[in-house]
Structure 1
């Protein structure tokens, strides 16, 4: 059985460096626009949306700006505070900001949403039971025919990250990297330093996971598409060519190469 994630440690991690999380989509320019491309395909105008684990509000703010009624629900108080600040700066109306654990959505009992995003919690919940608990509660808040989107980190992502940034460490990291393919978890400890407690999913398990809850698959794609390994080089080409590559990434994100060669995977489904 997978080791348990320390959720309090996750909360502290995001509270301690909220600016870095906000800036992540500036450093990695494909994940956000590719994901928004697919969300916009399925969201109806003026949808009521719950953004669970939405961090400092990248998706919340973009969707509010597009005319949707959005509630941000996040584990870290600092993320909520930054999202409020950004909303004020952008003069955007966000329906609600709620701090809480994705495994306990009881504060939202009685609410119903046209769409729910789960774009962060599955990055960290190593126990399948915890992931199932999130979905069980989410579906109770989702209207019939509502849209659910969930994001995961691929279990290939640590390998790709090592290739891009630390290729000289292969002697020391080889067994550790192979372990991600087998176990899919990283629990922070003296023996396992680095990124905070994380769950890395096998791409082949994601669609069956959601199907087991009766969801109908609408899309399953690699958020960095086919260009994951060349992302930094493409950013250096300038905004005009970068925009062309983002368009290309959107058009190829559902290919097998994109799904197995990307860092982040996103599923979009519809409730019966």
Structure 2
């Protein structure tokens, strides 16, 4: 986990979801999908909250929110935001999504895991992450898992930089499903990838029933210049189309980010 902490101590996560029109699709679509499942009375835990973009949103909506992250720098940023906005309904804590021992069983109505699965290269860590997120979730509660698609990564990188245009790199992503900083192929930090079918098969082994598996940025991140060059009015039309198409199975696999929403079995 030190590799991840070191990376995010240097990387500015704060503007990521708002940097461009194409970037905002992930945030806006995640909110759009979750609005069908989150009530204002729900108690929410976010694991891997980053700098708190989602946690602050739901706290502003009136939910009682607990935001956690692995990176101390991120935790301090969220704490300062909560303090500055005088949010008494937002609690912030340092926690690893694979070990939530400070939180009791069946204590949250909703658990948002919108980042940890991007970086857990070890299968045992991924399993522990899901087990722990489900453990603290009430029976019948909502679990939202964000993941990154294998085929987006390949489609993006193979044309972006020809050093990745090798059979070894393609096989590494498709077969292993992860990249590490020291494996010679890394372009980011330790990272993990799934196809929509693979994430459903993986999560199908746990105590959760699938409700949604949708594209949160769709084709917008493969065609960022076209999306970013839209006027504000044109972008609203495109976003409306994206909301209508984000559940379409033929699109999900080419989205950079995707969201699996499930309900914990009773």
* Equivalent in 5, 13, 32 of residue 11 of structure 1: 5
CA contact (8 A) 1:49 1:113 kept: yes
TM-aligned CA distance change 1:110 to 1:184, over 3 Å:
closer
* Equivalent in 12, 15, 18 of residue 26 of structure 1: 18
Q: Aligned to 1:103, what secondary structure does the other structure show? A: coil
Which runs of 4 or more aligned residues in structure 1 lie more than 6 Å from their structure 2 counterparts after TM superposition?
A: none
* Equivalent in 182, 190, 195 of residue 175 of structure 2: 182
* Equivalent in 236, 240, 262 of residue 229 of structure 2: 236
1:185-196 matches, cutoff 5 A? 185-189=178-182, 191-196=184-189
* Equivalent in 85, 109, 127 of residue 104 of structure 2: 109
TM-aligned CA distance change 1:49 to 1:134, over 3 Å:
same
Counterpart-to-counterpart distance in 2, 1:184 and 1:110 = 31
TM-aligned CA distance change 1:271 to 1:193, over 3 Å:
closer
Per-residue deviation, 1:136: 1.4
**Equivalences, count:** 261
TM-aligned CA distance change 1:230 to 1:23, over 3 Å:
same
Per-residue deviation, 1:178: 4.2
Q: Aligned to 2:224, what secondary structure does the other structure show? A: helix
* Residue 260 (structure 1) aligned with residue 256 (structure 2): no
- After superposing the two structures, state which structure 1 stretch, 25-34 or 91-100, moved more: 91-100
- After superposing the two structures, state which structure 1 stretch, 155-164 or 36-45, moved more: 155-164
Which residue in 1 is equivalent to 2:35?
Answer: 40
Aligned-residue Cα RMSD (Å) equals 1.9
Higher helix proportion, which one? 1
Counterpart-to-counterpart distance in 1, 2:151 and 2:64 = 35
Counterpart-to-counterpart distance in 2, 1:40 and 1:8 = 34
CA contact (8 A) 1:226 1:257 kept: no
Counterpart-to-counterpart distance in 2, 1:178 and 1:23 = 33
TM-score in terms of structure 1 length:
0.89
- After superposing the two structures, state which structure 1 stretch, 215-224 or 171-180, moved more: 171-180
Which residue in 2 is equivalent to 1:134?
Answer: 129
Per-residue deviation, 1:193: 4.1
Counterpart-to-counterpart distance in 2, 1:216 and 1:61 = 27
Per-residue deviation, 1:163: 5.6
Structure 1 gap ranges (5+): 1-6
* Equivalent in 44, 52, 57 of residue 49 of structure 1: 44
CA contact (8 A) 2:195 2:253 kept: no
1:144-159 matches, cutoff 5 A? 144-159=139-154
Q: Aligned to 1:21, what secondary structure does the other structure show? A: coil
CA contact (8 A) 1:48 1:115 kept: yes
TM-aligned CA distance change 1:190 to 1:60, over 3 Å:
same
Structure 2 gap ranges (5+): none
CA contact (8 A) 1:155 1:203 kept: no
